[in-house]
């Protein structure tokens, strides 16, 4: 945790980064590096204060309904931080993903069911039915509870959820355009 006094200094210095003078920007960046150091902290402490919160701590990303929202980036940024010593085949620490609202994390089983349903119900011309046969089998294993994911499949599943939500958003936009904006 960064002390309030240090945080106030950092706020002022960060605003200097918007200058069009290269010297001012470089000076502000160097001062930003010195400010946490004076409080016995480093850039990692600063990054922890401004970085996205992990899924387990209550994901604070933008609302799912935001037009143009990039689901893939949001899930990637919200991924729990895995240590460098954790192998992709190690069991994931995440219990699931937010799929209906950004406040609630659903179980891997529910995530799998949700993805299968969206992949099946969204027309192909709007991005649906993008899963190949072997991917459907893997997602079905999630949905049936036969697979508790390791880090690698959990990461892949995040991208599947992101693709499902992007396809659903495209489909909804197309339906709204067809009906004249009324949904």
Give the pLDDT score at 140. 92
What are 75's two structure tokens?
A: 């899930």
Alpha-carbon distances, residue 33 vs 42, 43, 44, 78, 162 (angstroms): 8, 7, 11, 25, 35
* Domain hosting residue 75, numbered range: 55-178
Maximum C-alpha span of the chain: 60
59 and 42 belong to one structural domain: no
Which residues, including other chains, have CB under 8 Å from residue 163's CB and lie 6 or more apart?
Answer: 71, 72, 127, 130
- Interatomic CA distance for residues 129 and 136, integer angstroms: 10
Give the pLDDT score at 110. 92
Residue 17 lies in a domain: yes
Number of domains in the chain: 2
Give the pLDDT score at 78. 58
Q: What is the mean pLDDT of each run of 10 residues along the chain (183 residues)?
A: 74 81 84 81 70 42 53 59 62 80 84 91 86 90 84 85 86 86 56
Give the pLDDT score at 17. 82
- Interatomic CA distance for residues 143 and 60, integer angstroms: 26
34 and 87 belong to one structural domain: no
22 and 96 belong to one structural domain: no
């Amino acid at each position: 945790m960064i002390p309030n006094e240090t945080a106030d200094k950092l706020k002022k210095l960060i605003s200097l980064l918007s200058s069009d003078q290269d010297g001012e920007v470089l000076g502000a960046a160097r001062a930003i590096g010195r400010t946490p150091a004076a409080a016995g902290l480093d850039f990692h402490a600063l990054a922890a204060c401004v970085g996205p919160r992990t899924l387990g701590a209550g994901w604070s990303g933008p609302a799912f309904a935001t037009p143009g929202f990039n689901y893939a980036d949001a899930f990637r940024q919200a991924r729990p931080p895995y240590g460098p010593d954790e192998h992709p085949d190690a069991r994931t620490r995440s219990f699931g993903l937010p799929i209906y609202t950004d406040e609630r994390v659903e179980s891997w089983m529910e995530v799998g069911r949700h993805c299968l349903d969206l992949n099946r119900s969204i027309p192909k011309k709007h991005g649906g039915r993008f899963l190949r046969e072997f991917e459907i089998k893997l997602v079905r294993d999630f949905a049936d509870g036969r697979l508790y994911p390791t880090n690698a499949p959990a990461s892949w599943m995040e991208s599947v959820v992101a693709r499902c939500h992007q396809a659903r958003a495209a489909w909804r936009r197309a339906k709204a355009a067809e009906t004249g904006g009324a949904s």
